[in-house]
């Protein structure tokens, strides 16, 4: 974190400062900010927050012992370390992050890009970071830091030398993105797609649209909204934002678009057309044609920020995977390919992964889909799992292995289709799935492992990748 005095921090978080005998309100703090005491280090700040299963205040002694010089807490602790007592530690974390970003913007040339969407946020963020790093110092989230804790943690990493800040914004309820937008005030807001991911939390698709629209409603006339022209729900957001619109897509009147797509086992080749009229061929090695849309979104934002076509193309061609456990290509022994895409799953991303599997399978060899639960779909879960099972049949996937009771309807729907005879198997555990794949896989086969994070199949994908490497 940039150096701030204890009194500055206290004012930023609207808290009560409690000094030790050895501290002063003018003392500067410039260490990292942590919510995990195990990551605390000399000079750091520890924010004690209440979690789903524990209370961060219980770990404040550990943070202090590791060198934290300031605790942000919701009640005063009997510890010999400076503390700021606040009403809500998570809100205080956001307020501190907002103050840091505002101070950096006041004296520097910082530009902020925020990304949201039901799918593709992390991939787009990673691609955009790669593009922007070629121009200047860039801060972007580690992993999927995209909620009311993760986004402020990323914001706190900016310095006076930072030129670009990329923020990934997820939401579990209406109002969450709006709150993050108010904290960081993006110069560019990207909306990728509105789908059924987390539909169980939002309640219905209309609520999801409203939540994602929060990305653009509070943008200024001087800001830019980057919108997916191919998704009608996203495209209509142009009517509710005062910002300048830049559209991306493969169809219609997109400002930034792709043409001449040719997908295969090594990625997708396409022609990238920028809003400026420039174009170039891109050999994009991230597996799955659906990731081209993420590339277009990143390219659209990068062009607005002055990144050259050459740097945009170079960044895209240097990227070989979307992220750990996202369409990650493993294996290779006996020409067996394992695609580990089990970090997250929604009906949209599951469909895209199955279509990719069908598209890249080696002629004359089998395609095997190992599928687990799509979580957080609420009352839509049954119908959506049925739909994925039917899609696997219609794509002529050679073998489907469904893992876990929550995903069993995919198996039932495939066998009820009547066009298969033994091509779908059901197992209760990832270990059983591993044994089944190990016994049945043949040279040249392609294996997809896909599920929500909670199903734990990403580790099964790693095991299979190791087995066939």
Domains plus CATH for the chain? 4-91 (3.40.1390.10), 108-318 (3.40.1190.10), 328-467 (3.90.190.20)
How far is it, in rounded angstroms, from Cα 117 to Cα 108?
A: 29
How far is it, in rounded angstroms, from Cα 118 to Cα 442?
A: 35
The answer to whether 127 and 319 are in contact (CB under 8 A) is yes
Closest CA relative to residue 409, chosen from 456, 371, 435, 437: 371
pLDDT value at residue 327: 85
The DSSP result for 238-262, as a single string, is GGG--SEEEEEESSTT-SEEEEEEE
Give the Å distances, CA to CA, from 38 to 62, 90, 192, 269.
7, 18, 35, 44
pLDDT value at residue 140: 95
Q: Helix (H, G, I), strand (E, B), or coil: what is residue 336?
A: coil
Model confidence at 198, pLDDT cuts 50, 70, 90, reads low
Model confidence at 186, pLDDT cuts 50, 70, 90, reads very high
How far is it, in rounded angstroms, from Cα 452 to Cα 236?
A: 29
Question: In this predicted model, which residue has the larger pLDDT, 361 or 96?
Answer: 96
Residue 352 clears pLDDT 60, i.e. is over it: yes
Q: Is 121 annotated as a binding residue?
A: yes
Q: Where are the alpha helices (DSSP H) in 156-219?
A: 176-184, 199-202, 205-217
Residue 378 clears pLDDT 90, i.e. is over it: no
Give the Å distances, CA to CA, from 300 to 88, 141, 257, 270.
37, 20, 9, 15
Enumerate residues 6+ apart whose C-beta is below 8 A from 363.
Answer: none
Calculate what percentage of the chain has a pLDDT beyond 90: 76
Q: Is 123 annotated as a binding residue?
A: yes
How far is it, in rounded angstroms, from Cα 192 to Cα 187?
A: 16
Closest CA relative to residue 319, chosen from 287, 359, 293, 354: 287
Question: In this predicted model, which residue has the larger pLDDT, 35 or 325?
Answer: 35
Question: In this predicted model, which residue has the larger pLDDT, 167 or 332?
Answer: 167
| Mean pLDDT of all residues in 165-188 | 90
Q: Is 120 annotated as a binding residue?
A: yes
pLDDT value at residue 196: 64
Model confidence at 333, pLDDT cuts 50, 70, 90, reads very high
42 token code pair: 């000399």
Q: Tokens 């392609």 appear where? A: 446
Residue 145 clears pLDDT 90, i.e. is over it: no
- β-bridge mates for residue 427, sequence order: 403
pLDDT tens digit sequence for 56-77: 999 999 999 999 999 999 999 9
Residue 172 clears pLDDT 80, i.e. is over it: no
pLDDT value at residue 420: 58
How far is it, in rounded angstroms, from Cα 292 to Cα 278?
A: 18
How far is it, in rounded angstroms, from Cα 110 to Cα 391?
A: 46
pLDDT value at residue 207: 80
Model confidence at 247, pLDDT cuts 50, 70, 90, reads very high
Q: Is 118 annotated as a binding residue?
A: yes
Q: Where are the alpha helices (DSSP H) in 76-223?
A: 89-107, 121-132, 150-155, 176-184, 199-202, 205-217
pLDDT tens digit sequence for 384-432: 999 999 999 999 999 999 999 999 999 999 888 765 566 899 999 999 9
Residue 234 clears pLDDT 60, i.e. is over it: yes
- Strand-pair category, 256-264 with 244-249: parallel
pTM tops 0.95: no
243 token code pair: 């910002």
């Amino acid at each position: 974190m940039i150096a701030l005095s204890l009194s500055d921090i206290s004012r930023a978080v609207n808290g009560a400062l409690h000094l030790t005998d050895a501290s002063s309100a003018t003392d500067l703090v410039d260490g990292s900010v942590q919510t995990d005491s195990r990551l605390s280090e000399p000079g750091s700040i520890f924010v004690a927050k209440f979690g789903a299963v524990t209370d961060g205040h219980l770990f404040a002694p550990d943070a202090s012992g590791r060198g934290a010089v300031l605790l942000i807490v919701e009640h005063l602790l009997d510890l010999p370390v400076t503390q700021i007592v606040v009403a809500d530690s998570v809100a205080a974390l956001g307020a501190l992050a907002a103050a840091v970003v505002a101070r950096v913007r006041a004296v520097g040339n910082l530009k902020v890009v925020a990304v949201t969407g039901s799918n593709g946020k992390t991939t787009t963020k990673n691609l955009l970071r790669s593009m922007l790093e070629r121009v200047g110092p860039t801060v972007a989230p580690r992993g999927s830091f995209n909620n009311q804790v993760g986004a402020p943690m990323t914001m706190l990493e900016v310095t006076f030398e930072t030129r670009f800040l990329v923020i990934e914004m997820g939401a579990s309820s209406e109002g969450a993105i709006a709150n993050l937008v108010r904290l960081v005030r993006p110069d560019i807001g990207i909306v990728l797609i509105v789908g059924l991911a987390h539909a169980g939390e939002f309640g219905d698709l209309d609520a999801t649209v409203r939540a994602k629209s929060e990305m653009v409603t509070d943008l200024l006339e001087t800001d830019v909204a980057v919108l997916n022209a191919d998704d009608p729900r996203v495209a209509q957001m142009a009517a509710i934002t005062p910002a300048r619109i830049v559209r991306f897509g493969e169809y219609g009147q997109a400002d930034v678009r792709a043409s001449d797509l040719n997908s295969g086992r090594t990625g997708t080749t396409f022609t990238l057309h920028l809003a400026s009229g420039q174009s170039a061929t891109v050999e994009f090695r991230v597996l799955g044609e659906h990731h081209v849309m993420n590339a277009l979104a990143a390219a659209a934002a990068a062009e607005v920020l002055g990144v050259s076509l050459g740097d945009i193309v170079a960044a895209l061609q240097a990227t070989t995977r979307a992220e750990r456990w996202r369409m990650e290509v493993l294996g290779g022994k006996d020409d067996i390919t394992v695609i580990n895409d089990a970090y997250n799953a929604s009906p949209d991303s599951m469909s895209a992964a199955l279509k990719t599997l069908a598209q890249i399978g080696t002629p004359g060899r089998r395609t095997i889909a190992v599928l687990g639960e799509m979580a957080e779909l609420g009352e839509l879960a049954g119908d959506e799992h049925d739909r994925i099972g039917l899609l696997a049949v219609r794509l002529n996937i050679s073998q489907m292995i469904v893992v876990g009771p929550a995903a069993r309807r995919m198996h039932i729907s495939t066998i009820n289709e009547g066009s298969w005879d033994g091509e779908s198997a059901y197992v209760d555990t990832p270990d059983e799935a591993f044994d089944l794949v190990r016994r049945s896989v043949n040279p040249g086969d392609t294996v997809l492992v896909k599920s929500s994070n909670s199903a734990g199949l990403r580790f099964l994908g790693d095991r299979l990748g190791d087995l066939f490497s």
